[in-house]
Structure 1
């Protein structure tokens, strides 16, 4: 693992040969990775009030989104589940967290850490955990969907950074799996990925309550990259006949040589 600094003063956290995070210590609102921008668009759209949010992050790396939440929702209590202690130590040393933060890092995997969380304790649950460029099977099955739903507040949001090959067959099964517990599941995705032109990231948004398709469609239109919002009803139709994953799912497809998380 390493941290690579650029001429702009930004740092890319690299693990398993794949870029995991980009952080500008002086500007936590600068989001470089497409999917992190999409996370932020969802939160700006569906949680516009700057009041604190209780956010749990599965996967830490550079803690880019946690820093963004701290700036946009001051005072937010945040939990980061990151089992790689050496990575966390490196990030804390080289890219310190901002003053006054309420970000607590626990050296646990997602499945270990979520088991210790209270029912309804998270306003937002963010899943962004990769092992050798793949979302682990343990974070894709029905057991994980149940635990995610359990820790979410009644109006809580689950955000998942998924990655898939053209055709998005794995993401479709993941959506069907999440829908067994959280009936409203939409996608914010680059148009070229949605059209099957390349391997890429897909942000899934899941909730017990209906998602605001109008607001999220407008958010997609103002994204820095050509992006589309795929509503829950559209995805539900595409999932007909698609079996959810079992209790433990399947790891996401391996990325091509350039990895799933590309700087654009």
Structure 2
């Protein structure tokens, strides 16, 4: 079974399936693979563990700041934008999603309760045309199959993300990987080449390369995230050890 959170290329069969256990719960499937879950009655109900990690990261950062603007790269069923709207109703939110059919389905069947700007297009192209210091928070959750598209995993792109992030802001990036976590080590080294402060949040068995799963790369003003049993937030020396000897990915060597 594919890891929750994977997004396929546009053109797959996209459907919304009601949750029999929750009256207003919906699962977004693409080619039969779960992509997103949303409870329209309770945006804080998060079915996918990696989304809960994202939510805790955002909540931890917001202990000392309230975001005025949030950029979501990858839309899905708009799970995180709905949650952010619950927590920070005054925040302006922009969602970039490349799959127009997916966007049309979500907006038609389960539209968000509060307005969200939707941009149908490529994440990198959108970021590159964004003014400096535009967003307080960036949530990146874009996949092609089970991997981040190569052009969204380079130092040059990470520098663009840093450029559009305001001082004191937070980048939250979902990464899915399999043992021995080679892709995650490259992604950490790549982000660290653009940001002075980086963290890696996830379940210990995944971080140690014992099983496949999702981890969250944090950059910018990385907060102290409260971890649950069996979870770790790697920072500074631990993170250096984690990615030791790994070269960042560049546009010239994707």
Same structural fold, with TM-score higher than 0.5 when normalized by the shorter chain: yes
Q: In structure 2, what is the equivalent of residue 245 of structure 1?
A: 249
Residue 52 of structure 1: CA displacement?
Answer: 4.3
**Counterparts of 1:49 and 1:87 in 2: how far apart (Å)?**
35
Matched, 1:36 2:40: no
CA RMSD in angstroms, aligned pairs only: 1.7
Is the aligned partner of 1:235 residue 2:239?
A: yes
CA contact (8 A) 1:142 1:249 kept: no
RCO comparison, higher one (Cα < 8 Å, 6+): 1
Counterpart for residue 199 of structure 2: 186
The correspondence for 1:13, drawn from 15, 20, 28, is: 28
Residue pair 1:137, 1:249 contacting (<8 A) in 2 also: no
Contact 1:178 1:185 (8 Å CA) reproduced: yes
C-alpha change, 1:190 and 1:249, in structure 2 (3 Å) is farther
- SS of 1:87's partner is helix
Contact 2:136 2:165 in 1 (8 A): yes
Aligned to 1:95: 110
Q: Where do 5+ consecutive residues of structure 1 fail to align?
A: 251-264
Provide Cα deviations, 1:123-155, integer angstroms capped at 9, x if missing partner.
Answer: 111110112232111110112111111100011
Give the one of 227, 236, 242 matched to 1:220.
227
Moved more, 46-55 or 67-76: 46-55
Q: Who is 1:135 aligned against?
A: 148
Give the aligned partner of residue 37 of structure 2: 22
In structure 2, the partner of 1:110 is: 123
> For residues 32 and 248 of structure 1, what CA distance do their matches in structure 2 show?
38
Deviation at 1:169, TM superposition (A): 1.3
The alpha-carbon deviation at position 53 of structure 1 amounts to 3.1
Q: Deviations over 1:222-252 (max 9, x none)?
A: xxx73221123311233232111122675xx
What SS does the aligned partner of 1:247 have? coil
1:116 offset after TM fit, Å?
2.0
Q: 1:174 to 1:50 in 2, by over 3 A?
A: closer
Q: TM-score, normalised by structure 1?
A: 0.85
Deviation at 1:6, TM superposition (A): 1.2
Given that residues 53 and 201 in structure 2 are in contact (C-alpha distance below 8 angstroms), is that contact kept between their aligned partners in structure 1?
Answer: yes
Q: What residue is the counterpart of 2:132 in the other structure? A: 119
Q: Shift of residue 27 of structure 1? A: 0.6
Counterpart Cα distance in 2 of 1:91 and 1:248: 36
Q: Aligned equivalents of 2:130 and 2:109: distance in 1? A: 29
* Equivalent pair of 1:11/1:24 in contact (CA under 8 Å): yes
Equivalent position of 1:259 in the other structure:
none
> Which structure 1 residue ranges, 4+ long, deviate > 4 Å from structure 2?
none
In structure 1, C-alpha distance between the alignment counterparts of 2:253 and 2:17, rounded to whole Å:
33
The number of aligned residues is: 239
| Distance across 1 between alignment mates of 2:109 and 2:126 | 25
CA distance 1:85–1:249, shift in 2 (3 Å) = farther
| Structure-2-length-normalised TM-score | 0.89
